[in-house]
Amino acid sequence: MTFVVTDNCIKCKYTDCVEVCPVDCFYEGPNFLVIHPDECIDCALCEPECPANAIFAEDELPEDQQGFIELNAELADVWPNITEKKDALPDAEEWDGVPDKLEHLER
């Protein structure tokens, strides 16, 4: 099993989760983070660190977020690895909690 970054991370991109990951399995795009499913060790350290509550265990993923399993795997193969915390996007607080942000994902 793996953990999955979901919709609410889009346009927020808090990186608190990256800081606690013992295996550096996060990858960074312009306005979203993903977890590489083959590198995640299911330690669960990242989930409580996410201020946007955008990280879920794969078996606890809400039904409307299932597509993010494949999206995380796809983007983790092309985006660069991130291993240190960075500032969130400037308007992260405004976007936190906005539903259906997939159309705003920048690849």
pLDDT tens digits for range 3-12: 999 999 999 9
- The domain 3-86 is placed in CATH, from the list 3.40.50.2300, 3.20.10.10, 3.40.50.150, 3.30.70.20, at 3.30.70.20
Please state the domain extents for the chain.
3-86
Confidence category of residue 68, pLDDT binned at 50, 70, 90 = very high
Q: Do 4 and 60 meet the contact criterion of CB atoms below 8 Å apart?
A: no
**Pair of tokens at residue 34:** 């993903």
Q: Which residue's structure tokens are 């809400």? A: 62
pLDDT tens digits for range 85-102: 999 999 999 999 999 999
Closest CA to 13 of 35, 36, 25, 31: 31
